[in-house]
Every structure is written in C-alpha cells, then in structure tokens.
C-alpha cells in the first residue's frame, strides 16, 4: 500500500526539492493533500503533483485531521516548524521537517519531546549528507582513515547570494539569516563527519554591514536585488565551537561578504591520521573531495573521484541528493533501513546555532 503524503507549505523548497523527489517515488507514495496560506499555491501544487482527488487546505489543522495521511512534510518558514511538527506528531503522523529543526532551541526541545511521546518517525531535511562526496567522506571517517578529528571548519560562504524570494530576510519568519539558512547545512555535515554531538561552549559574532546599506546598483546579487529597508537579518556570522572532548569547530556563514571565494555546505577536517576537504556546492570546485596524508614519507593531496561510483544505495548511478534522502526516509518508515538524519543530531545543530546568535547578542561565551 502506498504512503499517503500531506504537504504543509507549497513554496520554494517544496517545488525545488521535495515535489520532484516524491514524484520519482510514485510507486511508494501519493501526495493526497496540500496546505498553504496562499490557496493558489496549494491549488497549483495539487494540480501538478497531487493524486486524483487531492485535497487543498489553508489551515494545517484540517490537513492533520485527515486520517488516511501517514506522512506529513513541514516545508514552511523556520519559525513555524515547531508548532506544525508538534501538532503533526501529536496527530500520529510521521514527519519530515525541512532544515533547520527550529528557529530557537526552546522550540527544538518541544519538537523533541513531541517526537519521543509519539512513537513516530521524525527527520530533518539535511539532504547534503546524501551527496556522493559527503557519503564518501563519511565512510572514510567511519573506517578510521582520518583518525581522531580535533579541528574542523564548517563553511557556508556566499559572496553575493541573498535569496530574494519568500521571507528569507524577515527575521520574524526565519529567525536569522545565512547562519540559520545555509550555515546549518555545513555545521550538520561537520558534526556528522566527526560523530561528535557534545558541544561545551560557543563564542559567536554576527555582522549586518552590507545587507541594509547597499543600494541595488551596488549589490551584484546573483539572485536579483534585495531591498535594504527590509533586510532584517545578519549578512554574515562567525563562531568558535569547543566540544567537550576538546576538539574545535569554526563556523563561517554569509550571504553578503567581500570574500574572494564561495564555499557552501563545505567542511574541512583535520585528524590525527589525515586531513579532508569537502569543497561543497557551487563554483568551479563543485562537490570535490580531497584527502591530505603522508605516503612514502611524502605529503600528498589526493583528489577522490566520488562521481564515477555513484552514491550509497544507488551504485553506479547519478542521482540527486534529494532523491536519496527521500528513499532513505521512506525505507526507514518501512523498516527496511536506518534513519540517517536523526532528531537528536538535528537538535544539537539548532542548539549550537541558537548559542551563536545568543553569544553575538550578549557579547559573551555561551557555556552548556
């Protein structure tokens, strides 16, 4: 029997990521309900992607009352993740919530409690774990090739990459800017590679130097001009995260930064046996993996070809990370595979991001 899917939020991430992935899994799922505060968006989504007779809602409570729906996708602005996910878990639905888990650690804690009570499956949309380069580096870490990772960098740098659609620059809807939007991906990857989810302290700073000051003719934004008057979030953020075992992670995230390079969803690892550079997405060095180690008493840099062999679960095939994420999620619900992005891991990501913002606001180190 096919899973019945309910979609809450029919905006950009739904159309760019989840609708295409779910449409490729039509042998396993049916999208039977669509909810959006803009009814035309829900209507369009239902017409393009819905099963016959798909229902349309503007109130997510009405969608959750549909007994045949067993999986709910929460694809809304960040500040709504908690309220909707908690309600969906309480209604007995399995929940896929887009990243980040929540806008604040308090909201994330509520989601954790609702999940633990529900007995249902719950995951967060960190699809960058399913890239071929990410999968390859994770295997190397698990096999001990990097050794004990004691220093790492989580990169999410855009020179000019302000998303000018949706509500990305609205702090009341998103909770923050590039740190919570794209920095969350690089931090998630780095923690996952290290398999270390025990932060001890965080020191962070944020800047809002360019977003609210640059007029359109001086922006050079690849996604079109933004309105400086409504730019309410940080344009860059930087942090030091000390873990309980003494290891250190640095984080950098920006939408607007006068930098010479861009590195998004990227990670740099330094271990006792080797180093690794995951170049991330975008730019000329897209999705490359390099290993630095000693061979024959010489320091060498190895370019690991992660494309030719495909990715885990899809050997020899070129597939989108979002498609792998979808398959792994459905497999976990069906009991034929393990959940890769676990709620407690996503909770730690939000815990750290929230601490960066708090440290930046207070000028103090946050100690857990």
Q: Give pLDDT tens digits for 183-207.
A: 999 999 999 999 999 999 999 999 9
pTM over 0.75: yes
Model confidence at 305: pLDDT above 90 = no
Can you give the pLDDT at residue 318? 63
Model confidence at 297: pLDDT above 90 = yes
Can you give the pLDDT at residue 307? 64
Last residue of a domain, one of 125, 147, 175: 125
Model confidence at 60: pLDDT above 80 = yes
Asked if 88 and 141 sit in the same domain, the reply is no
Asked if 251 and 300 sit in the same domain, the reply is yes
Residues 40-68, mean pLDDT to the nearest whole number: 98
* Least confident among 15-29, 252-266, 313-327: 313-327
Model confidence at 233: pLDDT above 80 = yes
Q: CA of 269: how far to CAs of 127, 147, 149, 250, 285, in Å?
A: 20, 10, 7, 11, 17
Residue 44 resides in a domain: yes
Asked if 71 and 148 sit in the same domain, the reply is no
Asked if 290 and 319 sit in the same domain, the reply is yes
Can you give the pLDDT at residue 174? 96
What percent of the chain shows pLDDT beyond 70? 96
Q: Is omega for the bond preceding 344 within 30 degrees of 0, making it cis?
A: no
Can you give the pLDDT at residue 351? 98
Last residue of a domain, one of 88, 109, 125: 125
β-strand partners of 338: none
Can you give the pLDDT at residue 344? 98
Asked if 165 and 48 sit in the same domain, the reply is no
Asked if 67 and 161 sit in the same domain, the reply is no
Cα atoms in the 13 Å half-sphere on the side-chain side of 118: 22
How many Cβ atoms sit within 10 Å of the Cβ of residue 47? 11
Model confidence at 285: pLDDT above 90 = no
Interatomic CA distance for residues 73 and 18, integer angstroms: 9
Interatomic CA distance for residues 49 and 229, integer angstroms: 37
Last residue of a domain, one of 80, 103, 125: 125
What percent of the chain shows pLDDT beyond 90? 93
pLDDT tens digits, 71-116 = 999 999 999 999 999 999 999 999 999 999 999 999 999 999 999 9
* Opening angle at CA 322, ends 348 and 337, nearest 5: 70
Can you give the pLDDT at residue 156? 97
Domain, as residue range, for 153: 129-324+347-367
Kindly report the CATH number assigned to the domain that includes residue 92: 3.40.50.720
pLDDT tens digits, 267-284 = 999 999 999 999 999 767
């Amino acid at each position: 029997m096919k899973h019945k899917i309910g979609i809450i939020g029919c905006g950009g991430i739904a159309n760019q990521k989840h609708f295409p992935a779910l449409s490729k899994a039509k042998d396993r799922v049916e999208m039977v309900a669509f909810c959006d505060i803009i009814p035309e968006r829900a209507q369009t989504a239902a017409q393009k992607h819905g099963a016959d007779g798909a229902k349309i809602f503007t109130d997510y409570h009405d969608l959750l009352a549909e007994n045949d729906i067993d999986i709910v996708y929460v694809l809304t602005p960040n500040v709504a993740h908690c309220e909707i996910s908690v309600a969906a878990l309480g209604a007995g639905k399995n929940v896929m919530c887009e990243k980040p888990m929540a806008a604040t650690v308090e909201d994330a804690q509520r989601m954790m409690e609702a999940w633990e009570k529900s007995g249902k499956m719950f995951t967060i949309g960190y699809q960058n774990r399913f890239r071929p380069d990410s999968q390859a580096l994770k295997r190397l870490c698990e096999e001990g090739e990097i050794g004990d990772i004691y220093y790492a960098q989580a990169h999410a740098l855009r020179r000019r990459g302000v998303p000018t659609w949706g509500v990305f620059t609205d702090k009341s809807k998103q909770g923050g800017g590039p740190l919570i939007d794209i920095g969350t991906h690089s931090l998630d990857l780095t923690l996952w590679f290290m398999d270390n989810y025990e932060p001890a302290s965080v020191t962070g700073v944020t800047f809002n130097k360019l977003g609210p000051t640059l007029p359109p003719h001086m922006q050079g934004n690849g996604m079109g001009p933004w309105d400086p008057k409504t730019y309410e979030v940080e344009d860059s953020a930087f942090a030091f995260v000390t873990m309980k075992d003494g290891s250190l992670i640095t984080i950098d995230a920006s939408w607007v930064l006068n930098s010479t390079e861009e590195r998004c969803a990227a990670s740099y690892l330094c271990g006792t046996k080797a180093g690794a550079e995951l170049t991330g997405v975008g730019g000329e060095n897209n999705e490359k993996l390099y290993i630095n180690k000693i061979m024959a008493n010489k320091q060498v840099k190895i370019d690991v070809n992660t494309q030719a062999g495909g990715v885990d679960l899809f050997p020899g095939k070129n597939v989108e990370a979002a498609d792998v994420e979808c398959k792994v999620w459905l497999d976990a619900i069906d009991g034929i595979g393990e959940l890769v992005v676990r709620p407690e891991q996503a909770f730690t990501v939000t815990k750290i991001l929230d601490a960066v913002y708090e440290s930046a606001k207070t000028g103090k180190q946050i100690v857990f």
